[in-house]
């Protein structure tokens, strides 16, 4: 099999997430359909670096494409795949890679950004979360600092068969304000199902004054279902980058 590394962006609004699902539109499914058209009837495989949830977007998702044989150049593959894909999925780059490369297993870290709007926005509803309450960004920053490091994030995730351990090395969690937006940047070795959205929701509760940073730290010590109640909507979440 010949393997190619794909870097892509997508608007996840119309999709049930990255992962192939029966009777649902997925990004992986759209890519597979496009690849079958480009490469004909030969066997093709597509695997992503991370599973984004339904409605979550990506600016720098990485996937690998394996095909039995082709004489097409990486740039020709990029153009032809884009010709077959819907307008809300776009291949940014195609690179030929070694046969053992795996988009998920070889990834060293992943970075996400969550966008919060401080005002009603006629254009941004699909790509941000409008929080009507005034948020204390300094308190959110303090709480975020408590979560950085190697911790058990069971409180921030549902059971996930693909991750036997709920321990994650969170290398960055920054909260910054810019104009009418608040951005939460988060990087780590990997992420559990719904983990980023639950961390975001908990930080917003801190910003609202409904929770203090000590309580956030307690969630790392004792598993709790409390963060699930505050899961942020998928619309504001973007997979920004995957590092290898």
Helix (H, G, I), strand (E, B) or coil at 213: helix
Instruction: Give me the catalytic one of 53, 162, 180, 212.
Output: 53
Strand 149-152 versus strand 167-178 pairing type: antiparallel
Question: Beta strands of the chain (E only): which ranges?
Answer: 2-10, 44-48, 57-67, 89-97, 109-117, 129-130, 149-152, 167-178, 181-188, 237-243
Burial code (b: 16+ CB inside 10 Å, e: under 16) for 73-85 equals eeeebbebbbeeb
Closest CA to 41 of 21, 5, 63, 70: 70
Give the whole-angstrom CA distance, residue 102 versus residue 16.
23
Is 53 catalytic? The answer is yes
Residue 26 phi, psi dihedral angles, 5° rounding: -135, 160
User: Do 63 and 49 meet the contact criterion of CB atoms below 8 Å apart?
Assistant: yes
As annotated, the active-site residues are: 53
């Amino acid at each position: 099999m010949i393997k190619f590394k794909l870097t892509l962006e997508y608007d996840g609004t119309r999709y049930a997430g990255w992962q192939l699902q029966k009777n649902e539109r997925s990004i992986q499914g759209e890519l597979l359909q496009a690849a079958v058209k480009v490469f004909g009837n030969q066997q093709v495989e597509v695997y992503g670096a991370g599973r984004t949830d339904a409605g979550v977007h990506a600016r720098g998702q990485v996937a690998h494409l394996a095909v039995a044989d082709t004489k097409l150049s990486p740039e020709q593959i990029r153009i032809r795949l884009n010709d077959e894909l819907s307008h809300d999925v776009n291949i940014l780059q195609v690179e030929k890679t070694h046969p053992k490369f795996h988009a998920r297993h070889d990834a060293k870290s992943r970075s996400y950004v969550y966008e919060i709007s401080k005002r009603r926005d006629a254009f941004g509803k699909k790509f941000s979360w409008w929080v009507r309450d005034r948020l204390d960004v300094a308190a959110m920053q303090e709480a975020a600092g408590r979560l950085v490091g190697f911790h058990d994030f069971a409180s921030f995730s549902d059971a996930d068969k693909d991750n036997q351990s709920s321990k994650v090395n969170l290398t960055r969690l920054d909260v910054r304000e810019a104009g009418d937006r608040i951005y939460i940047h988060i990087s780590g070795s990997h992420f559990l199902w719904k983990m980023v959205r639950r961390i975001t929701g908990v930080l917003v509760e801190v910003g609202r004054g409904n929770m203090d940073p000590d309580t956030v730290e307690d969630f790392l010590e004792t598993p709790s279902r409390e963060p699930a109640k505050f899961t942020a909507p998928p619309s504001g979440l973007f997979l920004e980058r995957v590092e290898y």
